[in-house]
Structure 1
Amino acid sequence: MAGLPALPVEVLSQVVYSFSTSASEGEPSALRTLAQLAAVSHLMREWALQALYTILVLPRHVRDFRKWYERMRTSFPPFPCARHVKGLFIGIDDITRLTTASAGWESEMLRLLHYCGSSIEYLSLWQTESRALLRDAAQVRRQGTSQPTWAIGEQMMLEDQPEEPMYDPVDPNDIPRWLRSELEHEPTEQVAKAHAAHFPFAPRTNTAEIWRERPRPRACTPRFLSMVLSYPFYENERPELFRNMTIWSCVEELDIYMASDVAKSLSLISQLGHTSIKRLRVSSSHASLAIETNGSYSNQYTNACHALHTLIQSRDLAQAFVHEFAGRFVHEPIVLEAACLRMLEEHSLASLPPNGAHLMDEQAARRERLAMRLTLTQGSQSVWGKLKHRQWDFRERAQFHLPGAWSLLLR
């Protein structure tokens, strides 16, 4: 009813968004509440969709994922999660080999990444999903080639719906007299700021132009990316194609778990020196290497992958990394860290330095001069390839904005 007091818009939005964590964990009561709130008003629907999809953890089983995808595809408009997803975690148990009823989910996953790509900042993929993305022909632009199969029909999915007002028009008679009087004598923005609790939620401007100018979907280019590097991914294994894949375009923080072929994986990752990657974490079941640069152009290493490329130019270090990631620990971590920092600063390494108390002081001085942190961790690193720990790390980074695994692996 007109004239009744209402909660400020800011408070209402916080109340709705408080269901976000529970919804991302799949709690039924939170999902039902957000679904009901989405039917209250256009503005409430926007808040509910943000709370529901900002952090999206997809179903673990492939059949559940395909059911969820079908609901998204047949919604009106299609894919209501688009524009709202900030963090996306995909860890699917691929049972395609056991039944053909679940075959084809990889193309649906790639479509989803395309539709939600304009908003995704945090992306974490497990084994099969990572391989499907790395195999995707659409990741590398090629002249004279046809559109990838999974993308056929996407234009139809993204066609503009018939234009309709996003908000119902505001009835002037539904405004209290005292508020109407103030609107007649004071600027609208000033009145709205002074009486936010009573001001109508619906905007007074025409939203048709805003709807027409809404951002279109673009390729998925996250800022924080976690993947499992496993082979084969065929043609995209070529270094010149791997380095030009679209997925790396905006990445600032890259986490790679190497399932096999350490030497090849390190070589491919080192090709990304042209990107904006400031933090790099490379792990296997036996060891982890974490590198952080400050990204300043006053420093010779503005990219962590460029630093890795410099390191593996040394035959001794390249061989030492292969041994470390394979679990054949020949040297103490402090020795390899000191050797890496020396190689990065002097661009040459005659031999690995001997262990001793002086290495701690030498490392500290070199880190300060290079404006870089580099840490090697030995033993019991297989957890970073397991679904439970990967999801924990994803939630720490995307949902709670905490360091996550970086606090353990980068010192």
Structure 2
Amino acid sequence: MASIELHNVSKIYQSNQYSVRDVNLTIHDGEFVIFLGPSGCGKSTTLRMIAGLESITSGELRINGQNVNRMAPRDRNIAVVFQSYALYPHMTVAENMAFGLKMRGTPVGVIRKKVAETAAMLGLDQLLHRKPAALSGGQRQRVALGRAIVREPQAFLLDEPLSNLDAQLRAEMRTELIKLHRRLGKTMIYVTHDQVEAMTMGDRICIMRDGYLVQSGKPLEVYANPANIFVARFLSSPPINLLPCVVRTWANGVSLLLTDDCRIHVAHYAQADYRRYDGQTVTLGIRPEDFHARQLDANWQPLRFKVTGVEALGAENIVTGTIDDVRFVVRLDRHTLPTPGDSIILYMDPEPLHLFDTQTGDVLPRRASPLLAS
């Protein structure tokens, strides 16, 4: 078991370019933490520094309270599972899983027992005699996981382990990894650029951008209260609607003016926080799923929506259109399938909307959405 602490950890390469800058993070014993962000944001470099595969330029890395900046990877008792599987093609499944233990001089009887137990756990017990070339991508990934598990490390580091799998296998392996974490109870750090993996798998997500740790928290908390436009955009598919607007206060509330004719009302709970921005131009963020074809709440605002495009996905429909000439993308249920040219009434839920500073992109402070509490 392992707790992992990063104190102002940075990584600079020879070109004097920061790959990771001043990361401060505490990962608790047994926690499943996701590093999420686009390619080149520093998430894999951070993982490799924890593993000892990359040196730390500055800052301090502690595992179970011990400074490990200069500790060799083999002495950290941490297992790494890579995207490429890194299996030995000339070895069988059993030999691949046993290799690390064999190199450590573990008795043959102990190796056989651990390999058999782990193979049964991962559904590999009927494949132990096969070589990697005879396995599917999902089976190879299980072997790579099994090789890590038999070592009984104090933490697992997984660097985009599912990115080579097809969509169905990825979904299956996500479920298996969640079960595996619950069964083992070990600290896991998982690197991905996939928001679905981040939202569904981890106890906590850590979103990185340009080497910085931008926001960290429980997945639904970060989703409901993003720190800035980058986080809001990254945790939204289709992308969140981001639109310039002017804040206007009235005796009976606060409105957001996108045009002279297009006006969005602010939810009651947020009006006191947004009144201070009266007359200012800000960026409005509304997610596509906050528009509905039926009014299930009296506070939802009816808006006339002119349909310009439709993507029918089966389970849902992604619809593009305009509200008073302002372009929006909305997500509707599979029973609501308009056609281009239609003019329909949609109902917008104002509670999850966000306002962002137009210059910095940071969210304008307001109390947390009551949706999170519900």
TM-score by length of 2: 0.29
Q: Which has the higher contact order (CA 8 A, sep 6+)?
A: 2
- Structure of greater Rg: 1
Greater share of strand:
2
